[in-house]
Amino acid sequence: MSGIFYERFGHNKLAVAGSVLVALLFLTALLAPVISPYEPDYIDRYHVLEPPGRLHPLGTDDIGRDVLSRMLYGARVSLSVGFVAVGIATFIGMIMGAVAGYYGGIADRLIMRFVDVMLSIPSFFFILAVIAFVGPSIWNIMIIIGITSWMGVARLVRAEFLTLKSREYILAARAIGASNMRIILRHMLPNSLAPVIISAVLGVASAVLLESSLSFLGLGVQPPMPSWGNILTAGKANIEIAWWLSVFPGVAILITVLSYNLLGEGLRDALDPRLWERR
């Protein structure tokens, strides 16, 4: 099975390119303290709003901080928010979807109606309202994005469980007296992970974009901690004289979101034989 997966994935050049970009972004964030030319909060008061040059390859911001250094450290923040938020959303969604799909009945109806209610609320404005009460911080952003993004995973897991629970090996496990927990954890969850993995990869891109939007509005990661979103905020105030403050973080967000979307689409094509046959 793994050989077929790698063959299918390798045929998709865009997916391969996305996976390479994801790996490079991950390495860049991991090695930020090593490859960063300056500390992210170092202020060079003699080079304020300086365009890209020898001393500062991507220029400086409005108080003289190196944009390249802040973007490298900002990658750690943005990707950390994406991974943690998606981890929380996936964990909640798998539990809710597994309970709804396996037990059915009143549990299924209650959970799915709650999912419908959550989906009917505009998530971005709901997050803004919650942040207004709890305050902006990196941990609050991670948790809030996670607990408002689990509904899609819950629907995917529920659909997989509804399909799997009538399979012969599940019926055989019940016949020999296997407990519900063992059937769910040992037999059903592992066989329903493919769409969850795809959803998680695509969810990282959404979480990074959402965190950047919140930080741009001043409701996400707070200065002096660097984030691509709050670097863009400085760019907005100086857009006419410091184009690099808007272009470079904007391109970083674009590449990150695009690479995770390409990787997610490639995984979907590689893991779904029906889509492969159409090609």
Q: What is the pLDDT of residues 47-96, one digit of tens each?
A: 888 889 888 899 898 888 999 999 999 999 888 988 999 999 999 999 99
Domains of the chain: 44-67+81-249 (1.10.3720.10)
Given CA atoms 157, 258, 225, 38 in this order, what sign does their dihedral have? positive
- pLDDT per residue, tens digit, the chain (279 aa), is 566 667 777 788 888 999 999 999 999 999 999 999 999 888 888 888 888 988 889 989 888 899 999 999 999 988 898 899 999 999 999 999 999 999 988 999 999 999 999 888 888 888 888 888 888 888 888 898 999 899 999 999 999 998 888 888 888 888 888 888 888 888 888 888 888 988 999 999 999 999 888 888 888 888 888 888 888 888 888 888 888 888 999 999 999 999 999 998 888 877 765 554 544
Long-range own/partner contacts, residues 58-64 (CB < 8 A, 24 or more apart): 58/244, 58/248, 59/242, 59/244, 59/245, 59/248, 61/231, 61/234, 61/242, 61/245, 62/234, 62/237, 62/238, 62/242, 62/245
pLDDT the model gives residue 2:
60
Q: What letter does residue 43 receive in the DSSP assignment?
A: B
User: What is the residue type of 190?
Assistant: P
Q: How many residues does the chain have?
A: 279
Contact 140, 134 (CB under 8 A): yes
Q: Which residues contact 62 (CB under 8 A, 6 or more apart)?
A: 48, 49, 234, 237, 238, 242, 245
**Chain centroid, CA 68 distance in Å:** 23
Closest of 83, 223, 66 to residue 142, by C-alpha: 83
Give the containing element (helix H, strand E) for 74.
helix 67-103
pLDDT the model gives residue 272:
66
Full-model pTM:
0.88
pLDDT the model gives residue 200:
92
pLDDT the model gives residue 44:
85
**Chain centroid, CA 211 distance in Å:** 10
User: What is the residue type of 215?
Assistant: S
Phi and psi, residue 61, nearest 5°: -95, -165
